[in-house]
Structure 1
């Protein structure tokens, strides 16, 4: 499978994105993607297509044994949902930290929970649910960059977060290192992700008051995903930015709906762990 070239930025070498996944990224900005177009692109990567079909046939989607082809998956689940599955699998393959240095299952579970919360919040704020889901799914990609390129830094940040009982982002600031948001921005540029996604990836902890509403929504969704984990969470919730709360002005029902979405997904975390291990 062909890949784009890797990019070196300072001490970090950003991994290349598989060609097929790069084409899927280009589809994000298109107003309408046809199922036949998506199936044609993915058909050039049998391994990625096979992993996606396995995921589509899981009990999570309630379609066990019914998805025999990519076209079946697109028809039964929808173009955007299939594209999102392909992206998470493709990016996961491109960003694989050294074994034993990073809990990738916990990482992707939190990404899925943030995505679920973002989708639940999206409609109230006039955003496309699939766009919000994808932004939530990718918001912490910078952590994977740090885990892959600087496992020593990752260990120091995580140790400080544990010792001080603070969030990962607060630990980065405390030890004076460039944060995962900056690493995520570099990756978004190297992989040519759309500007809206790059903004959510690079500013989800400290959104500016005039940032697009999607950035503020991912900030809140990330916080809700951490809080909804309760004692099961791997780290304390980050600080809520007042500007985001004022910009979104969420109702109690908005927040409750997002919390329920996160908890429903976490209740099936064992299934997601098994699926990620198999694919």
Structure 2
């Protein structure tokens, strides 16, 4: 998918989707995803297979025993989680390593995992939610690659993404949420994920979902998971406000969010004991 011509005039390059993700996207597009085909794709790439094994045995999932093979990993986690790990690795590989980007990738992995799990519990599109969370801050990596020194100073000078987007507009003529949405579009992500990435800064800052996106559940989950990751005690206040705007049952969403927080605490406890 092509990049918005207005963004091209800014001379800020958006990386192309890696071949492994193109192949995985084709597999995921099938209504009946073949787990063996997904496992074979992962196993064919040594670096990807290593990343999957490292992730599945981390505290993020909190499995009772160690997983020994990619096929086991696919069986335990399912294709969505494996796809999330694969896309996370592809996203990381598209940008040069830098200490400033590590917190972004760490938050991305956790956010994607939590949004996918919450979406699954609520019966909404789990892969759209997972990928939206994973790519939410990718526009920051695009700007960092474009102007490392300038953008490093911006990251240090701001405490919130709302403040950061204002500086980005002044310095580059575009903000990371717009760039992130453009990358999502060019990589063929679901429109709901693209909309979530494009609007997340405003939605999280104001606790208001825009009227434009017709499928707002991914964006709603972005706001809820952001609260869960930063100020867990605020979810009782945030969930009723946001869920209603996305036509989700506030009671069911709050119950699922609380359960997700409990599961995450249990997973981290398992990880600590295993270590």
TM-score range, shorter chain: 0.7 to 0.9
Give me the whole-angstrom Cα distance separating, in 2, the residues matched to 1:25 and 1:17.
Answer: 10
SS in 1 for 2:50: helix
* CA 117–44 in structure 1, closer or farther in 2 if over 3 Å, else same: closer
Q: Deviations over 1:101-125 (max 9, x none)?
A: x141x22332234334424542575
Instruction: Indicate the residue corresponding to 1:86 in structure 2.
Output: 86
C-alpha contact 1:228 1:262 (8 A) present in aligned 2:
no
1:48: Cα distance to partner? 1.0
1:81: Cα distance to partner? 1.7
Matches within 5 A, 1:1-279: 9=8, 10-58=10-58, 60-62=61-63, 64-68=65-69, 70-97=70-97, 99-100=98-99, 102-104=100-102, 106-119=103-116, 121-122=118-119, 126-162=123-159, 167-174=160-167, 176=170, 177-206=173-202, 207-211=209-213, 212-228=215-231, 246-248=245-247, 251=250, 254-255=253-254, 257-258=256-257, 261=260, 265=264, 268=268
SS in 2 for 1:31: coil
1:252: Cα distance to partner? 5.9
Give me the whole-angstrom Cα distance separating, in 2, the residues matched to 1:203 and 1:26.
Answer: 27
C-alpha contact 1:189 1:198 (8 A) present in aligned 2:
yes
List structure 1 segments (4+ residues) > 4 angstroms apart after TM superposition.
242-245, 262-267
SS in 2 for 1:204: helix
Instruction: Indicate the residue corresponding to 1:3 in structure 2.
Output: none
Q: Greater CA deviation, 32-41 or 124-133?
A: 124-133
* CA 221–92 in structure 1, closer or farther in 2 if over 3 Å, else same: farther
Q: Deviations over 1:68-114 (max 9, x none)?
A: 2x2222122222222222221222222234x34x141x223322343
1:42: Cα distance to partner? 2.3
The structure with the largest helix share of the pair is 2
SS in 1 for 2:188: coil
Aligned residue pair count:
249
Structure 2 gaps of 5+ residues are: 1-6, 203-208
1:255: Cα distance to partner? 3.8
1:256: Cα distance to partner? 6.3
* CA 265–144 in structure 1, closer or farther in 2 if over 3 Å, else same: farther
Give me the whole-angstrom Cα distance separating, in 1, the residues matched to 2:262 and 2:112.
Answer: 12
* CA 32–197 in structure 1, closer or farther in 2 if over 3 Å, else same: farther
Q: Greater CA deviation, 212-221 or 252-261?
A: 252-261
Give me the TM-score of the superposition, normalised by structure 1. 0.71
C-alpha contact 2:113 2:130 (8 A) present in aligned 1:
yes
1:253: Cα distance to partner? 6.4
1:64: Cα distance to partner? 4.1
* CA 121–76 in structure 1, closer or farther in 2 if over 3 Å, else same: closer
1:38: Cα distance to partner? 0.9
